[in-house]
Amino acid sequence: MAQFLYEALDKSGKQIKGVIEAPNEEVIIEKLRGMGYYPLRVATHKSKASDFDISALPILRTFAHRIKTKHIMTFTRQLATLIDAGLPILRALYILQEQVESVIFKEKIGQMAKDIESGSSLSEAMAKHPKVFDKLYVSMVRAGEVGGVLEAILNRIAEFLEKRAALIGKVRSAMMYPVVVMFVAVCIVGYIVIAIIPKFTDIFLQLGAAKLPPLTQALVDFSYLLIHKSYIVIGILVAVVVVFKQIYKTREGKYAIDRSLLKLPVFGNILKKVAIARFASTLSTLITAGVPILQALDIVRETSGNEVVSRAMAKVYNSVRDGETIHEPLRESKVFPPLVCHMVAVGEETGAIDQMLTKVAEAYEREVDDTVNALTSIIEPVLIVFLGIIIGVIVVALYLPLFTIPKIMGAQS
């Protein structure tokens, strides 16, 4: 059996640590609960020889200890549990600081604890770390502090982060397969162009084929460019990336690119559904948490992740500020389908807009799931056909000269 290091809280809230031998973590958690303890952390016990962590080196520190979404979700869940158990926020932060995996996150929690010791509230301490806790997170925590339901709000935040991470994960998984296949295709074609085509070119020249067919000549020229003038290709690629980034930094450029992405076949439909689901879920969560509607709309605008949706939210914000409705500017934006606008309108009329937005978010999350599953099954044969066409064109280009060489050799004899 393996040795596991555990950390838990006893009935009085005191933190305890120890080492237990067990076949797996689940057995240890059950044992601790049976002893009346609340498990905080269970991890494989390392010997002193394995204590050195190469990721602690300065060069690798930022990468190895970067704060991931799962770290924030776990922290939020555990903080809610500790507060619900009656522990003061300051003590809860010090307990969580000892068990987080990321060194950077550990430092952030320590800084938050010091700010709270100096008299700041939890939301004020979190607001000083916007790269970890965004405006949405901080606003919901502030609403929880004002309403005296901080632990409930933290649980709601954790649920929201989990749903958002799951939605993004589905989209990434759908796009990962074609990206991997295209990368492999580029590597194969690159090898053919760089290693194989020059040998065929030498054979053609030795056989007296001074003039090659246009398709073959284009392939030979491309091969020469990659082998002897690769710096030109690299320079063009770097220039394209730099220009794209510079354009995307501007609001107009970001708007044009995001709008073009939403119009892409298949993938544009997925991105649009994700944007709608994210809008509905975020706004619903904020309203339910007690965040004022204007502040909630402003947060949705800033955290939408899409400039098209962000501009639509700006119009909604202005409409609500002037005492008008939410659904009308949504309809005018032509980003949101009529069904979404109708459901929002019904929610405004009945005073249950948060419930309607929750239903919209759930419906579009299901649609994203269904679309991704359908795309995964369709994209495989499409990529196979695409790769077949590329390889076919290369093969035809290499064999075209073989039909002209016998004529040339016959003329020479």
**Residue at token pair 């989209």:** 171
Specify the CATH class of 176-413 in words. mainly alpha
Tell me the pLDDT of the chain (413 aa) as tens digits.
567 777 777 766 677 777 777 777 777 777 777 777 777 777 776 544 444 444 444 455 455 557 888 888 888 988 888 888 888 888 888 888 877 877 888 889 989 988 998 888 999 999 999 888 888 888 888 888 887 888 888 888 888 888 888 888 877 777 777 788 888 888 888 888 888 888 888 877 777 666 778 888 888 888 888 888 888 888 998 999 999 888 888 888 888 888 888 888 878 888 888 888 888 888 888 888 888 888 888 888 888 878 888 888 888 889 888 888 888 888 888 888 888 899 989 998 888 888 999 899 889 888 888 888 787 778 778 888 888 888 888 888 888 877 766 655 544 44
Q: Please give the pLDDT value at position 391.
A: 85
| Sequence-separated (6 or more) residues with CB below 8 Å from residue 277 | 167, 360, 361, 364, 365, 368
Round to the nearest angstrom and report the end-to-end CA distance of the chain.
Answer: 83
368: tokens are: 């994203």
Distance CA 383, CA 411 (A): 44
Q: Residue 174's closest CA among 363, 335, 367?
A: 367
Letter for the amino acid at 233? V
What pLDDT, on a 0 to 100 scale, did the predictor assign at position 1?
A: 59
| Interatomic CA distance for residues 360 and 365, integer angstroms | 8
Q: Which pTM value belongs to this model?
A: 0.67
AA identity, residue 392: G
| Secondary-structure class of domain 1-52 per CATH | alpha beta
Q: Give the residue among 134, 370, 167, 371 at the shortest CA–CA distance from 277.
A: 167
Q: Identify the CA nearest to 384 among candidates 165, 185, 243.
A: 185
Within 10 angstroms of residue 357's Cβ, the number of other Cβ atoms is 25
Q: What is the pLDDT of residue 54?
A: 43
- 169 Cβ neighbours under 8 A, 6+ residues apart: none
Strand residues in 153-307 grouped as ranges (E): none
- Beta-strand relationship, 38-44 and 15-22: unpaired
For residue 157, which of 74, 100, 99 has the smallest C-alpha distance? 74
Where in the chain are the domains? 1-52, 176-413
Beta partners for residue 106, in sequence order:
none
**Contact (Cβ atoms closer than 8 angstroms) between residue 9 and residue 38:** yes
Distances (CA, A) of 4 to 11, 155, 239: 22, 28, 52
Q: Count Cβ atoms below 10 Å from residue 411 Cβ, excluding itself.
A: 8
* Paired strand residues for 7: 17, 41
Across the strands, what pairs with 18?
6
Nearest to 144 by CA among 353, 335, 286: 286
Q: Output phi, psi for 5, to 5 deg.
A: -95, 130
CA distance 303 to 134: 8
